[in-house]
Structure 1
Amino acid sequence: MSPALVIAVLASGALGALARYGISLAFIRATRFPRAVLVVNVAGCLLGGGVLALSDGGIIDSGLHLILLTGIAGGLTTFSTFSVETLQFALSGRWRAAVANVVINLVLGLGAAMAAYFIVYWFLLLNQYQP
Structure 2
Amino acid sequence: MPLVRVDAVAADPQQLTAIGDALHAALVDAFGIPSDDRFQVLRGAGTDQVVYDPGYLGVQRDDGVVFVQVFLRRGRTDEQKRAFYRALAKHAADAGVEPRNLFVALVENGLGDWSFGNGEAQYLDNPPT
TM-score, normalising length: structure 1 = 0.28
Q: Whose RCO is larger (CA < 8 A, sep 6+)?
A: 1
Whose strand fraction is larger, Structure 1's or Structure 2's? 2
Larger CA Rg, structure 1 vs 2: 1
Whose helix fraction is larger, Structure 1's or Structure 2's? 1
TM-score, normalising length: structure 2 = 0.29
